[in-house]
């Protein structure tokens, strides 16, 4: 089963074109300053079979997919099965706390890697978050696994944020720099709303 924390068809906040953004539940890294600590717990969130989730996404209009979380490679076989069922997926960008070299040779990871066009790898380092490009911190690498998306364009990709009212909380889409994150957390502090 796929364990999904959130999903949304957003604008071009997490990559070029209109994107289906999928955040998976569960991560073992616990990076200091993580913007989604509630998605770290290895607990059920929204559970879907790959077929059911592909059915939910089939009617959505998008140019590409962005995988984040949580840690997508903890659910590599399920995500690979899901992606294989989509008749149109466009390009796929995947954020991971793993290094690419760690993923190569891992049987589960090798099921998902063929579906990924661009891998953004490495642990988030709060002190290296300079606000540059489509990555959380400057130590993370943007690696083209297929031709199509320009790495240099993603390295200078403008950071923007969207906030979506989800009823029981607010979904943040985007990668805030440290200053923006401080403002957001200060604004929501003490309010009966959670931010993801």
| Partners of 48 in beta bridges | 2
> For 61-90, what is each residue's pLDDT tens digit?
999 999 999 999 999 999 999 999 998 899
Q: Taking a C-beta distance cutoff of 8 angstroms, is the pair 12, 43 a contact?
A: no
> For 160-181, what is each residue's pLDDT tens digit?
888 888 777 778 888 888 788 8
| pLDDT given at position 185 | 80
Whether the pLDDT of residue 108 is over 90: the answer is yes
Half-sphere exposure of 122 (CA within 13 A, CB side): 16
| Partners of 93 in beta bridges | 66, 118
Instruction: Put the strands of the sheet holding 118-121 in their side by side order.
Output: 46-48, 2-10, 19-24, 64-69, 91-95, 118-121, 141-144
For β-strands 19-24 and 64-69, DSSP reports them as parallel
Which of the four pLDDT bands, split at 50, 70 and 90, describes residue 190? low
Write phi, then psi, for 180 (nearest 5 degrees): -60, -40
């Amino acid at each position: 089963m796929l364990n999904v924390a959130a999903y949304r068809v957003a604008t071009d906040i997490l990559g070029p074109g209109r994107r289906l953004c999928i955040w998976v539940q569960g991560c073992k890294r616990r990076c200091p300053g993580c913007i989604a600590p509630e998605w770290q717990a290895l607990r059920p969130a929204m559970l879907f079979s790959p077929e059911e989730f592909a059915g939910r996404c089939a009617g959505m209009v998008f140019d590409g997919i962005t995988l984040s979380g949580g840690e997508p490679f903890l659910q590599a076989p399920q995500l690979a099965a899901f992606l294989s069922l989509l008749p149109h997926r466009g390009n796929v960008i995947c954020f991971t706390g793993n290094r690419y070299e760690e993923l190569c040779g891992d049987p589960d990871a090798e099921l998902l890697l063929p579906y990924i066009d661009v891998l953004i790898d490495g642990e988030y380092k709060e002190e290296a978050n300079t606000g540059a490009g489509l990555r959380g911190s400057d130590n993370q690498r943007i690696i083209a696994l297929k031709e199509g998306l320009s790495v240099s364009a993603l390295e200078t990709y403008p950071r923007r944020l969207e906030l979506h009212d989800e009823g029981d909380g607010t979904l943040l889409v985007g990668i805030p720099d440290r200053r923006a994150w401080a403002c957001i957390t200060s604004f929501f502090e003490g309010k009966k709303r959670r931010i993801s």
